Amino acid sequence: MCGIFGYIGPREATSIVLDGIQKLEYRGYDSAGIAMINDGVLCHEKEVGKVSRLQEVVSAKNWETNLAIAHTRWATHGRPTQGNAHPHLDTQKKCAVVHNGIIENHDTVRHLLEKRGITCISDTDTEVIAHLIAYLYKGNFLRAVQRALPLLKGAFAIAVIHHAHPGEIVCAAKESPLAIGIGKGEMFVASDSGAFLKYTRRAIYLGASEVALLTEHGVEAFDAQFAPIEKKREELSHSVEEASKGDYQHFMLKEIHEQPQTLQNALLARFSRDYGTATLDNLNFSDEELKKVERIVILACGTSLHAGMIAAHMLEEKARIPVEVEISSEFRYKNPIVKDNTLAIAISQSGETADTLAAMRELREKGARILGICNMQGSTMAREVDSCLFLRAGPEIGVAASKTFTSQLIVLSLLSLHFARMRQMSQQEGVLFIDALTKLPEQIRQVLLGSGQIIEIAKKYAAYENFFYLGRRYMYPTALEGALKLKEIAYVNANGYPAGEMKHGPIALINEMCPTVAFCADTYTYPKMLSNLMEVKARGGKVLAIAPGGASDIAAIADDVIWVPPTLDELAPVASTIVGQLFSYYVAKERGTEIDQPRNLAKSVTVE
Ligand code: AGP
C-alpha cells in the first residue's frame, strides 16, 4: 500500500510531487508527507489526513526546489500519526526515505541500530531504512542505498534523497511496483506510472532487487550485485483521464451511474452475434491451447473474488471445465498441484494486489499459463501475465469497487461463452446468450432510473447495525458482494451467506433487529429461496428482496421488494449488484460515512 512520488528536473518540484501523490491516494490516505532539498538543507513536512491537508500546509511555506519526494500512507506498522507518516529521516536529518511495502525484519535491524547508538523514534518499519542508509553512507549515496538493501527483508519500494546530493534520487524495488518516468531533462518516480503520465509516456519499471539513480539527465539502473543493467523502455499507451465527479456528490455514485456505458465498453467488438460466439482478439492463446484446458484456477481477492466465484459457476455450467476459485492470500501459501493444461485466471481491478500477484507467480512457477482480467493498463499484472483482457471501465476512484465489478462480469461472461462454444454449446444458445448480454446496458439504465425507490428504502433500513445478505447459486456471490459494499462504505455489519446454510446455525441470529437482504434473481433456485425467506420471516426477521420483475409471490413474503429486469440466471448478478451498490451508497449517505475514501481502506492492497 502507500504511494510514492519523486521528481527531479527544472520545474518547481513540490507542486509536482504533491499532485503526484494525490493521484496515488487510492493506495492509502491516512497521512501524507514531503521532503525536499533547498540550499543543501533537507526540509520535510508531514500531516495526518489526506494529501489536500498537506498541500495547504506546504503552500504556505513557499518552498522552491527542483527535487522532492512525497508519500501518501496506508498504515501497516504504527498508527496514522504525524510521527509515523513518511518521509522518515535519519537522526541527523541527512537523508529522507519514502517507502511502500513492509520491512519484515525491521525489529532485527532496529536492534542492530540500537547497538550502534541509533534509536528509532517512530513505530514504523520504514524508519530503520533511513538510519541504515545514513549509517552506511561514506560519501557515495547510491552505494549506501545498495549496501542497505540486502539487509532488508520483505517486499518494498523506496525513494531516497540525501542533503549532500541535491541532484540525485535513489530508488529501489523488491517485489513492489516502482515506475520511473523519463522526461526531457527531468525524471519521475512513482508507485504507478499513471501518476506521471501527464508529463511523460516513457517509462521503465524496476524489477526484483534493482536500484536506480535518477538525475535530471537520466536514469542508471543496477542489479542486486551493483552491476549496471539496461532496462527496457516502455511507451505508455494508457490515456490521461483526469477524474472528476462532474455533478455527482461522490465518485462512487458517478461510477455506479457510468455502468450502462462501461458495460457497453466491455462488450464492444468482443462478440459475433451471427456465430453466437465471443471474439476476444487480444486473447494471446490459440484455440488449440484453449481447447486443451482441463482445469481452471481463478485467483482474486475481495470484489474481484466475487466476480471469480460467479465466473466459476458459469464456466463449469456452460463450458463444463472444472474450476477452482482461490482466495489469493490463502492460495499463495499452498503448494498447488499444477497438472498439464491448467489455466490460471487472475482477476484484479488494479493489477497491483500483492496477494494475487504472488499467487499467480506461484502458479506460473509450477507451469500454469496465466490469463489476467484487469482494468489498469501498465499494471504489474498486465505486464506479467501471458495474456490480459482489459475491462475498459476507465479510472475507478471510489475505493469501493462498483463499475469494475460489473465489467469483470461482462468480460468473464464473454470468456465463458468463448470456452463454451469451443466445447458443447450450440450456436443458437450462444446467440441467446449474446442477446441477453447486449440487453444489459439498457436494463441497467432502467435500474438506475429506479434510484428514487432505493433511496426511500435505504432510509428505512439505515439505522440497523446488522444484516444478513442471502442468495443461492449465482446470487450467492452476488450477496457476498452486496454485503461487502455495505461493510465498506456504511460501516455496517453485513453477513453474506448462502441461503441454504442459514438453518445450519446463522438463523439463530435472526430477529427483528437483523434484516435480511435477499437476492432472488436466480430463477432456478427461486422456489428454494422463497422457503428460506419464510423461515426468516417466521423468526421475526425483516426481508428486503431484490427480485426479477414478474416473480410476484415474493411480494407476499418480503417487507420491501426492489424489482430488477429479468435476464438469464448467469447474467442476473449485474443488475442485482447495482441495486446493492445503490442501497449501500444511500445507507452510507444516510449514516454520514465517508463514501469515496472509507476509513481503514485503500484501493490497491499492495502489501500482504
Ligand atoms: C472492493 O470494493 C474492495 N475495495 C476490495 O475488496 C478489492 O476488490 C480487493 O482489494 C481486490 O482488489 P483488486 O481487484 O484491485 O485486486
CA-based Rg of the chain, rounded to a whole angstrom? Answer: 25
Q: How many Å apart are CA 359 and CA 78, to the nearest integer?
A: 27
Please list every protein residue whose CB sits less than 6 Å from any atom of ligand 1: 301-304, 348-350, 353, 356, 399-401, 488, 604-605
Ligand 1 atom closest to the CA of 302, numbered from 1: 6
Q: What is the pLDDT of residue 244?
A: 73
Specify the residue with its C-alpha closest to ligand 1, atom 7.
302
- Rounded to the nearest whole angstrom, what is the distance from the C-alpha of residue 351 to the centroid of ligand 1? 10
Residues 6+ apart with CB under 8 A from 125: 76, 77, 102, 103, 104, 106, 154
pLDDT tens-digit readout, 540-550 = 999 999 999 98
Specify the residue with its C-alpha closest to ligand 1, atom 10.
302
C-alpha cell at 593: 460515512
603 touches 404 (CB < 8 A)? no
Domains along the sequence of the chain with CATH: 3-234 (3.60.20.10), 251-448 (3.40.50.10490), 450-601 (3.40.50.10490)
Q: How many Å apart are CA 311 and CA 496, to the nearest integer?
A: 18
Q: What is the pLDDT of residue 1?
A: 72
- Give the mean model confidence (pLDDT) for residues 280-292: 90
The catalytic residues are: 2, 603
C-alpha cell at 263: 458495460
Mutation test residue for ligand 1: of 250, 353, 608, the one with most atoms within 8 Å of CB = 353
pLDDT tens-digit readout, 155-214 = 899 999 999 999 999 999 998 889 999 999 999 999 989 899 999 999 999 988 899 999
Number of H helices, E strands in the chain: 18, 27
pLDDT tens-digit readout, 451-476 = 999 999 999 999 999 999 999 999 99
Ligand 1 atom closest to the CA of 485, numbered from 1: 2
CA torsion 164-168-169-173 (nearest 10°) is -110
Residues making up the chain, counted from first to last = 608
pLDDT at 388 over 60: yes
pLDDT at 239 over 80: no
SS3 of residue 603 by DSSP: coil
Q: How many Å apart are CA 440 and CA 562, to the nearest integer?
A: 17
Q: How many Å apart are CA 457 and CA 542, to the nearest integer?
A: 12
User: How many other C-beta atoms lie within 10 A of the C-beta of residue 104?
Assistant: 13
Q: What is the pLDDT of residue 240?
A: 64
How do 187-190 and 3-8 pair as beta strands? antiparallel
Q: How many Å apart are CA 392 and CA 388, to the nearest integer?
A: 12
Q: What is the pLDDT of residue 62?
A: 84
